Structure 1
Amino acid sequence: MPREPRRHRQSLRRRPLTFSPFARAMAMATLSKKARREIIQEPKLQAKDFPTSSGNGFPNHGKDETEQSHSSDSEQFEGVVQADFAFFDPKPSDFHGVKVLLQTYLDNKHWDISGFVDLILGQPTVGTVVKIENDEDDGVYSVVSALNLGRYKNSKCITELKDYLLKLCQDMNVIDKLKSLLAEQAHDVGLMVSQRVVNLPPQLLPPLYDALFDEVEWATEDEPTEELRSSFRFKFYLIISKIYKHKNADQIKGTTKSGDEALIFPKPEDEIFLELSSWSFSFPLHSQQVTTNELRNYRLMGLVMAVEASKVPIFRKQLHSLIDE
């Protein structure tokens, strides 16, 4: 049955979203000379004030580029704005919005991204899109899903994604493990796809991931065939994301006197995933990165992680603790 939209009302105001340790530089980078916001208790946001997938205000969403301003640089955002965010099953009409969110998912690679979006939208029982309720533009602000690499092994987009990862992995301690997950173990691997606009309220993250993992569990019991039920019994999750890595990251332990950290996580959950991962590797990206004083010593990097599905309960608990603190 179609899922009833679940409302998540959030408040936003003039200062960056900052919660330890990921957001300081990223928030300043994406909100410099614009409306600066922080989450407060009682929101008041009109849909037109948010970037949408059909408007110029929508960020070129790889987390590595400055979002385009939805007000001029000279304007100052005043007051409080309100929005009712709701979770929905993916549907075909979400194609454009989801594709915009995923446009730098594999850096600047030319690949079958349309086919990839079709896979996500063709799996409505496991996956969520976040929208503003009753928004005329029907803009998509986040997409979360998990695709079985074995089930979709013959899809062009999955073949291209696998080849992309294998060519980029230069870590000899990881390459054989990666090959195994992408080949003989592929049926046990869920490719976790999680992309969103940079200023999505962080309070949405715990229920968003809770929804994903709950749906995966339900699918192992509720899908109509054993083949489909089996395809959601993941043993591993493969995650492709982005980080900012300090140029002297290998020498940094903790935080430097200047306040620099070895890694900055544009998405706070990635720090938890990395800590829980069985293995990971990073690689340079070519897509344009934010250039600010705060990030002058950092380079935008791709990050690939493998996380055992058995670690999901730990992840969920730690994510709630991080966002609620």
Structure 2
Amino acid sequence: MGQRGRPAKRRRLSRLPPLLLAFSPFARSILFARSAAPNSTAPDPSPSSKTTEVGFADPKPPKAIKRIESSEDEEDQEVEMVQADFEFFDPKPGDFHGVKLLLQNYLDNKPWDLGGFVDLILEQITVGTVVKSGAQDEEEEGDDDGRDDDEGLYAVISALNLGRYADHRCIKELKQFLLDVCSDDSARKKLKLLLEKEASEVGLLVSQRFVNCPYQLVPPLYDALFDEVSWATEDEPTQELRDSFRFKYYILVTRIFEKKTVNQCKAKQSQNCDEPVIYIKSEDQIFYELSSLSFPFRLHAEQLVPPELKNYKEMGLVMVVKADDVPKVREKLKSLVAES
């Protein structure tokens, strides 16, 4: 028998219906603050400028995003409405710069092999998705304006096996970073076990998106990832590859706003606290509530916090979630969108 070739990737929904989006004053305030950050690639504080801050950059709005409601006085407008098309794609090399922009502060301000990390994400096409604006309007068909392939890339999600890629410099540096920022001895011991002895059963869940990527996309985005992980355990061409997606744990690295007057106050244990933690990505609260291990860490990169959050400081957050809890994550994500 001939060698089995790479299976055709089973693809769920790749294009979503146009979304009517609402950008709240809170979201816009964060976006404007990030656009004005000192380390921004463009100092213009307008929402059309790019910034180097992870998860908050606002790329030049693609032509497919059309504003349908506006006001002459932006300050008096509580909600800004736009209509947009978004599509899901397999990662490809042409997405390099867009994904790198999303991830450039993934490990705070640590110099590390970010390019190699992005390459791993883009090379793993059977598990992973990028989200782009639907820029194929009739008026744009056949128009070659020299745009990069990754222009208009809004989000990326993937899961990398820490054992499979253990010899890559970027993964070695990432593991060392996580151990260095963990100040709790007990948590560090457990984390070290996951990163080393049990690494082949641990997936690094990478999920980054810009603030103007609508939350309605989040449940199908995670559904796509977890479906692909499941399919990979059956469809990958070798037993070694199939086994590499049989995760027992997921590790997530994200960011939160923590109230300055609260000392390591955990939202799930302190309901009487006055908003001790604000989750930048709403799904992170779901992961946190289900986490078997978590710890915050201090960020060293200069942070510019919006006026509305002057009593908060931005912190890093590492979470470990059991793969057995993925069905709960999916259910809670759908419920969260339904309630919003």
Establish whether TM, by shorter chain, passes 0.5: yes
Q: Which runs of 5+ in 1 are unaligned?
A: 18-23, 35-54
After TM superposition, the structure 1 stretch with the greater mean CA deviation from structure 2, 188-197 or 2-11, is 2-11
Q: Deviations over 1:206-243 (max 9, x none)?
A: 00000000000000000000000000000000000001
Q: What is the one-letter code of the residue matched to 2:285?
A: E
**CA deviation after TM superposition for structure 1 residue 272, in Å:** 0.5
Cα 1:251–1:92 change in 2 (3 A) is closer
Report the Cα distance in structure 2 between the residues aligned to 1:162 and 1:219, rounded to whole angstroms. Answer: 24
Match of 1:21 in 2: none
After superposition, residues 273-288 of structure 1 pair within 5 angstroms as 273-288=287-302
2:18 is paired with a residue whose SS is: strand
Deviation at residue 202 of structure 1 after TM alignment? 0.4
Alignment of 1:127-142 (within 5 A): 127-134=128-135, 138-142=151-155
Partner of 1:280, secondary structure, is strand
- TM-score (norm. length: structure 2): 0.78
Distance in 2, Cα, partners of 1:265 & 1:131: 24
AA in 1 matched with 2:185? M
Instruction: Identify which of 137, 144, 153 aligns with 2:166.
Output: 153
Q: Is the 8 A contact 2:60 2:152 kept in 1?
A: no
1:179 matched to 2:196? The reply is no
CA contact (8 A) 1:255 1:262 kept: no
- How much has 1:30 moved relative to structure 2? 2.3
| Matched residues, number | 291
Q: Equivalent residue for 2:39?
A: none
CA RMSD of aligned residues (A): 2.8
Residue of structure 2 in register with 1:311 after alignment: 325
User: In 2, distance between residues paired with 1:112 and 1:251?
Assistant: 31
Give 1:286 deviation, angstroms. 1.7
CA offsets, 1:259-298, max 9 Å, x none? x411010000100100100011111102232323321111
Runs of 4+ in 1 over 6 A off after TM superposition: 68-71
Using a 3 Å threshold, how does the CA distance of structure 1 residues 312 and 133 change in structure 2: closer, same or farther? same
Q: Which moved more, 1:217-226 or 1:288-297?
A: 288-297
Q: Following the alignment from structure 2 to structure 1, what is the Cα–Cα distance between the partners of residues 292 and 130?
A: 28
Q: Could you tell me how far apart the structure 2 residues matched to 1:251 and 1:212 are?
A: 31
Structure 2 residue ranges without an equivalent (≥5) = 1-7, 36-46, 62-66, 137-146
CA distance in 2 between partners of 1:134 and 1:299 (Å): 37
Determine which structure has greater relative contact order: mean sequence separation of CA pairs < 8 Å that are 6+ residues apart, divided by chain length: 1
Contact 1:29 1:66 in 2 (8 A): no
After superposition, the Cα gap between the structure-2 partners of 1:68 and 1:151, relative to the gap in structure 1 and judged at 3 Å, is closer
Find out whether 1:101 has 2:108 as its counterpart: no
Contact 1:66 1:290 in 2 (8 A): no
Deviation, structure 1 residue 168: 1.0
Matched, 1:12 2:21: yes
In structure 2, do the counterparts of structure 1 residues 316 and 172 end up closer, same or farther at CA, with 3 Å as the change threshold?
same
TM-score scaled by structure 1? 0.82
Higher Cα Rg, which structure = 2
- Mapped partners of 2:73, 2:111: distance in 1: 37
For 2:304, the equivalent position in structure 1 comes to 290
Residues 248, 69 of structure 1: alpha-carbon distance in 2 compared, 3 angstrom cutoff? farther
Indicate the percent of aligned positions where both proteins have the same amino acid: 52
